[in-house]
């Protein structure tokens, strides 16, 4: 009964972390077990000695330190402590889905919970069509229609709909790439648990939250219950210090790291990024860093929230949140340190994100096109960077250069914001002067190939330098296409030379 369940508090105090194989005997959360002082009952069910408030410090027990991710998951599972390996049921704060996976996820939800079932919380689900939007493919169009029906039926508050495919600007609700939209619309908050039916959901970890990608079946489960079964991951720590060189971007940092640890180097683990360089990064740069955590196999990426984070978030949401930070005595399963001031622009050569090479060592590689876009490299700052380099160079591109802003807002920024140092020109003007293609309708575009009529899809075995996130065979369309992953600076420089190029050729 209630009193005895409080006294048997072995799950609450003094959790031993020495047994690595111990998967964690976890009581299913009952509010009475979270902390002693909340156990007061109004009716007397038994007589017991008065319970003093016994915080761990006063008992002399050793407080086990937790990493940021462990803390977020502990709180979300209503436990005071979790250790890597624990299988826990976690409360979900936000579930995101898009046009490709949404229909499947909702289909499974209805199959398992019934045709009349209602989602666990219509305000915690964000539906963002973005993958296959501007296409004549009937199935792709059908997916958006299906999501509209589900959202209507379930009264989903956040559905960024698009009905006029011929003119994206005619759709006031439409946003574009889900991971960028989530941030821009204020759905990313420190300390929360965000899941999405897309592998790059890990992008949101830039905000100091637990964010990871899940499949349709898991999403269907979350739709009905608001919970998910997760195994607590151990954390790998990456400390990046040193002043960021003017020609280096977050994309170079993450390509450097993935090249270091390989595409499976972080499998089932958290990648936690900290250090003075990280602190100097803008939110968009932090998003780029966390975006490619999945390319190293990582479960989630995370960056401690600071003034930069709070400033961004507080301007976009009024939902209260509570950031958490890794304890000083937390355990990390690996520690990597980088002196960023010594790093150089890098690319990932075909056909793997870990096939790292210095950009300057690839300058003999002739290229056929350049693609600037996606959640990884299609944000406002990415276009600003490319424009800055084009302006500094004062030349025209030598190969077709495709520009796909991630969201409507990014598209508008490209056309409205002045590029520093250019005398008031916008990105769009600079791109036009450099001979780039006109910025296209915002979506995921050709990052993942898509239906045959997708803008900028690789339909021939060409060589492309791209600011996107994966370059496995066939990723952008043609199986023999060769994709070099790069930063916006490197992509712009390559467009100007017609070869893979180090941006220092134009920025120094």
> Can you tell me which of 13, 29, 65, 363 binds another protein, judged by CB under 8 A?
29
Site string for another protein, 368-407 (x = CB under 8 A): ----------------------------------------
Is residue 216 a contact residue for another protein (CB under 8 A)?
yes
Measured in degrees and rounded to the nearest 5, phi and psi for residue 503 equal -60, -15
Under the criterion CB under 8 A, does residue 103 sit at the interface with another protein? yes
List the structure tokens of 109: 């939800």
Closest CA to 303 of 234, 238, 369, 391: 238
Distance CA 119, CA 142 (A): 22
By the rule CB under 8 A, 137 interacts with another protein:
yes
CB of 249 to another protein, least distance (A): 23
Q: Of the ranges 207-215, 277-285, 321-329, 500-508, which one interacts with another protein (CB under 8 A)?
A: 207-215
Q: Exposed, middle or buried by CB within 10 Å (0-12, 13-18, 19+), for 302?
A: buried
In angstroms, what is the minimal distance from the CB of 481 to another protein? Answer: 11
- Closest by Cα among 440, 456, 437 to 448: 456
Could you say whether residue 221 binds another protein (CB under 8 A)? yes
Instruction: For tokens 């969201």, name the residue.
Output: 407
| Among positions 89, 332, 336, 455, the unique one binding another protein when judged by CB under 8 A | 89
Nearer to another protein, 132 or 383 (CB): 132
Residue of the chain from 118, 395, 398, 499 that contacts another protein (CB under 8 A): 118
Stretch 273-302 residues interacting with another protein (CB under 8 A): 294, 297, 299
Q: Which is nearer to another protein, 268 or 339 (CB)?
A: 268
The region that residue 264 occupies, defined by phi over 0 for left and psi between -120 and 50 for alpha, beta otherwise, is alpha
Q: Based on CB atoms, which residue is closest to another protein, 17 or 280?
A: 17
Number of residues located near another protein, criterion CB under 8 A: 78
Nearest distance in Å: CB 305, another protein: 25
**Contact (Cβ atoms closer than 8 angstroms) between residue 424 and residue 184:** no
Report if residue 153 touches another protein, rule: CB under 8 A: yes
Q: Which stretch binds another protein (CB under 8 A): 159-167, 260-268, 315-323, 378-386?
A: 260-268
Q: Does 418 bind another protein (CB under 8 A)?
A: no
- When binding is defined by CB under 8 A, the residue of 81, 101, 367, 428 that contacts another protein is 101
Residues in region 310-369 near another protein by CB under 8 A? 352
Cβ of residue 165: shortest distance to another protein, in angstroms? 15
Give 335's strand partners.
237
Residues 6+ apart with CB under 8 A from 31: 38, 78
DSSP 8-state secondary structure symbol assigned to residue 379: S
List the interface residues with another protein, window 476-505 (CB under 8 A): 477, 479-480
Coil, helix or strand at residue 292: helix
Residue (of 23, 195, 245, 237) closest to 95 by Cα position? 195
Q: Using the rule CB under 8 A, is 75 a contact of another protein?
A: no
Looking at the Cβ atoms of 217 and 422, the one nearer to another protein is: 217
**In the range 422-451, which residues lie near another protein by CB under 8 A?**
448-451
Element (H, E) at 79: none
Subset of 166-205 contacting another protein (CB under 8 A): 197-199, 201
| Distances in whole angstroms, Cα of residue 268 to Cα of each of 44, 271, 353, 412, 440 | 47, 10, 18, 38, 36
Identity of the residue, 224 or 503, whose beta carbon is nearer to another protein in the bound complex: 224
Side-chain-facing half-sphere of 142: CA atoms under 13 Å: 5
- What residues pair up with 158 in beta bridges, in sequence order? 126
Q: Which of 104, 72, 77, 71 is closest to 89 using CA atoms?
A: 77
Nearer to another protein, 5 or 246 (CB): 5
Contact 410, 130 (CB under 8 A): no
* 194 or 385: CB nearest another protein: 194
């Amino acid at each position: 009964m209630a009193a005895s369940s409080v006294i048997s508090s072995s799950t609450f105090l003094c959790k031993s972390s020495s047994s690595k194989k111990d998967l964690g005997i976890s009581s299913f959360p009952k509010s009475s077990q979270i902390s002693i002082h909340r156990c007061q009952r109004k009716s007397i069910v038994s007589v017991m000695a008065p319970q003093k408030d016994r915080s761990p410090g006063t008992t002399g027990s050793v407080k086990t330190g937790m990493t940021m991710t462990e803390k977020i998951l502990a709180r979300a599972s209503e436990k005071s402590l979790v250790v890597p390996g624990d299988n826990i049921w976690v409360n979900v704060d936000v579930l995101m889905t898009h046009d490709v996976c949404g229909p499947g996820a909702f289909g499974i939800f209805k199959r398992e919970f019934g045709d009349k079932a209602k989602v666990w919380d219509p305000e915690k689900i964000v539906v963002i069509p973005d993958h296959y939007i501007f296409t004549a493919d009937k199935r792709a169009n059908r997916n958006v229609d299906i999501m509209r029906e589900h959202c209507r039926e379930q009264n989903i508050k956040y559905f960024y709909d698009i009905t006029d495919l011929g003119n994206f600007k005619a759709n006031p609700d439409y946003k574009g790439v889900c991971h960028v939209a989530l941030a821009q619309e204020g759905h990313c908050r420190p300390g929360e648990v965000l899941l999405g039916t897309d592998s790059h959901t890990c992008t949101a970890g830039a905000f100091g939250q637990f964010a990871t990608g899940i499949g349709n079946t898991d999403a269907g489960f979350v739709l009905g219950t608001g919970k998910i079964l997760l195994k607590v991951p151990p954390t790998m720590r990456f400390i990046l210090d040193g002043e960021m060189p003017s020609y280096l971007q977050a994309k170079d940092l993450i390509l450097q790291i993935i090249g270091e640890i390989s595409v499976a180097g972080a499998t089932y683990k958290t990648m936690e990024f900290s250090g003075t360089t990280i602190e100097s990064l803008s939110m968009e740069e932090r998003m780029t860093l966390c975006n490619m955590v999945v390319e190293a196999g990582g479960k989630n990426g995370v960056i401690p929230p600071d003034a930069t984070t709070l400033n961004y978030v507080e301007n976009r949401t009024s939902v209260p949140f509570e950031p958490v930070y890794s304890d000083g005595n937390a355990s990390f399963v690996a520690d990597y340190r980088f002196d960023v001031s010594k790093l150089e622009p890098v690319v990932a050569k075909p056909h793997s994100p870990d096939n790292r090479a210095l950009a300057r060592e690839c300058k003999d590689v002739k290229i056929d096109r350049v693609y600037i876009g996606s959640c990884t490299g299609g944000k406002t700052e990415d276009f600003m960077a490319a424009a800055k380099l084009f302006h500094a160079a004062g030349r025209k591109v030598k190969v077709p250069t495709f520009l796909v802003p991630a969201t409507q807002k990014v598209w508008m920024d490209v056309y409205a914001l002045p590029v520093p140092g250019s005398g008031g020109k916008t990105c769009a003007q600079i791109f036009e002067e450099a001979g780039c293609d006109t910025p296209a309708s915002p979506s995921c575009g050709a990052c993942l190939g898509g239906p045959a009529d997708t803008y900028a899809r690789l339909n021939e075995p060409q060589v492309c330098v791209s600011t996107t996130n994966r370059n496995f065979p066939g990723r952008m369309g043609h199986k023999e296409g060769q994709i070099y992953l790069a930063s916006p600076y490197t992509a712009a420089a390559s467009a100007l030379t017609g070869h893979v190029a180090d941006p220092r050729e134009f920025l120094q």
